[in-house]
Structure 1
């Protein structure tokens, strides 16, 4: 295989590529759903057959759409699933994590290619090499190969005990100290009210707060803790003033829904500016969806984005990726979420990626 296929592929038919991206959006959630079924009932032949069929269809769609890099990724996944279906491989958590990581990376690769951006951060040669070794592994070596693949692609060591960030008190980021000021207590109550709007949000406030605090500490605490805490509580509270269809919808948003959604940072910031002493938090909330390349919202800033907003952007994106996966398969995967954030690192401030990874690494690797 020509290595350039994975690093600098040629788009032969843009319309067909976009159709493939749409088809992949349909297949990927079904794969995640059925892998979740396998975790409940390992080696369930019906679930394995459904996953195999979905990956086979992805490979076929990719071939028809002339998206060669997708064929290169899907083929060894299909081979691995074929061996699982034949009873040569035994299902395991690590095997599941490797397959889902590969599907995640396939989605990112197709979208990145469609957007004309660089594929380098996705580590596709490492992914395909790892998938090919996994597909050819001896039956007793699948966990070792899956673990090696995950580490090669994410940079994090994996094990069967890799934590999933749940909402229970035992989860790595599930508890957080509540600061003592009346304002912060009020802000926290608003955040918890927002959290209560969906069962999928359970524990979200505490996870975001602890991640933000620990990342700030890992960076030498350049952001005032109180202002950061207030921003964490109120950064999405503006959503409550918008139609639920704009922020609870799974899948693509309409132009109108997207416009509504992009108003929420300034709504939350407006609440803070009306209260004395929270200007720093207001700035963080107003800017937390801005991006260094100017593609963010609501103002499309490329410079002048405050440190707190740059930090919160990463933490919020990490939680959003986990929410996406729990929508699909009822499973929060720390490894897959951090892998996706790092694959999109150019959307975030580079000075915050390293301390954020440091915090996540402590949770994953101990």
Structure 2
């Protein structure tokens, strides 16, 4: 039990501040909300680390814990300053580059491709027609889930932008097809499973995972799109070998699948889903992606993602200044 003591004490200090909020002695401002949510994210990450390696990085936890101790009895103005310190402590370099609290912003703003990449215009007329057809199919796929409004288009723009930042970019037409059709197999999953707002049973999880095989088989049988099919087949694989369906290692996973895996997760955590009604801010989402670099996501792809996000926000800041 002593192994859990640091996490228990950490949680108590956060709860002390929330008690002040409930007693209306502190306002639950956007800054404080972000500080609390990032602190809970960090606790989850440290808990997973503890389960895997039976050790916890105490330095950051202790620093954050002391900031919450001071916040409990602070004035409203000082509490805001301390909350910002929590965010900077946990956000690291991203807290310096990205907005601590976003005002009237939408993570989708950071997912738009440069104008020159928004339309892939292959010379081959058949390929062009295929892409138009695939886009129409993707719109049908988006309609099967109430949380997927315009999802395929957003993912496509995100992936094409991220592809631009890779040292070795993926063929844009193959990547586009993979993005548009990667969840084609979800069309065959019962709606009550796809939109279930509670934990899936083992059989239901197996049914969800089958979508990869179905999507792959459909796309592989279409002439010219075998590379796209392989991206689809691998987009739930992980560098640490804990993905599916083949438990591939990092070197075995193609770059397109690494891009799609990151984009798919970024969309999921910055938008509402059937099993949760909240979404993460850009700062929290970026930090979460980085927390799983090398395990869930390819390290080089994460580095490219970081640069993309920083560049996009830098351009946004310049245009509004």
Q: Could you tell me the TM-score, scaled by structure 2's length? A: 0.81
Deviation sequence 1:180-224 (CA, Å, 0-9, x none): 511111111222211112221113223212221221112245211
Distance change (3 Å), C-alpha of 1:230 and 1:104: same
Deviation sequence 1:31-79 (CA, Å, 0-9, x none): xxxxxxxxxxxxxxxxxxxxxxxxxxxxxxxxxxxx3233222122112
Distance change (3 Å), C-alpha of 1:258 and 1:327: closer
Q: Given the alignment of the two structures, is residue 153 of structure 1 paired with residue 90 of structure 2, yes or no?
A: yes
2:187 aligned residue (221, 236, 240): 240
Q: Given the alignment of the two structures, is residue 257 of structure 1 paired with residue 204 of structure 2, yes or no?
A: yes
Aligned length: 300
Q: Which residue of 1 aligns with 2:265?
A: 317
2:276 aligned residue (323, 328, 343): 328
Coordinate RMSD, CA, aligned? 2.9
Q: Which residue of 2 aligns with 1:209?
A: 156
Could you tell me how far apart the structure 1 residues matched to 2:104 and 2:183 are?
Answer: 26
Q: Which residue of 2 aligns with 1:352?
A: 301
Q: How does 1:155-174 map to 2 (within 5 A)?
A: 155=92, 156-157=94-95, 158-161=99-102, 164-165=105-106, 171-173=109-111
For structure 2, list consecutive stretches of 5 or more residues without a partner in the other structure.
122-127
The answer to which of 337-346 and 83-92 deviates more is 83-92
Q: Given the alignment of the two structures, is residue 223 of structure 1 paired with residue 170 of structure 2, yes or no?
A: yes
Q: How does 1:1-366 map to 2 (within 5 A)?
A: 67-115=4-52, 119=56, 124-125=61-62, 127-135=64-72, 137-155=74-92, 156-157=94-95, 158-161=99-102, 164-165=105-106, 171-173=109-111, 177-180=118-121, 181-220=128-167, 222-302=169-249, 303-323=251-271, 328-345=276-293, 346-364=295-313, 366=317
Distance change (3 Å), C-alpha of 1:75 and 1:281: same
* Offset, 1:324: 5.5
* Offset, 1:130: 4.4
* Offset, 1:241: 1.5
SS at match of 1:328: coil
**8 Å Cα contact 1:184/1:230 also seen in 2:** yes
For structure 1, list consecutive stretches of 5 or more residues without a partner in the other structure.
1-8, 12-66
Deviation sequence 1:248-288 (CA, Å, 0-9, x none): 22332211111111121222122221112112211111001
Could you tell me how far apart the structure 1 residues matched to 2:257 and 2:100 are?
Answer: 33
Distance change (3 Å), C-alpha of 1:166 and 1:318: closer
Distance change (3 Å), C-alpha of 1:359 and 1:277: same
Distance change (3 Å), C-alpha of 1:232 and 1:165: farther
Could you tell me how far apart the structure 1 residues matched to 2:205 and 2:281 are?
Answer: 27
Could you tell me how far apart the structure 1 residues matched to 2:54 and 2:227 are?
Answer: 34
**8 Å Cα contact 1:98/1:150 also seen in 2:** yes
The answer to which of 182-191 and 244-253 deviates more is 244-253
Q: Could you tell me the TM-score, scaled by structure 1's length? A: 0.72
* Offset, 1:119: 4.9
**8 Å Cα contact 1:109/1:119 also seen in 2:** yes
**8 Å Cα contact 1:235/1:265 also seen in 2:** yes
Could you tell me how far apart the structure 2 residues matched to 1:221 and 1:133 are?
Answer: 48
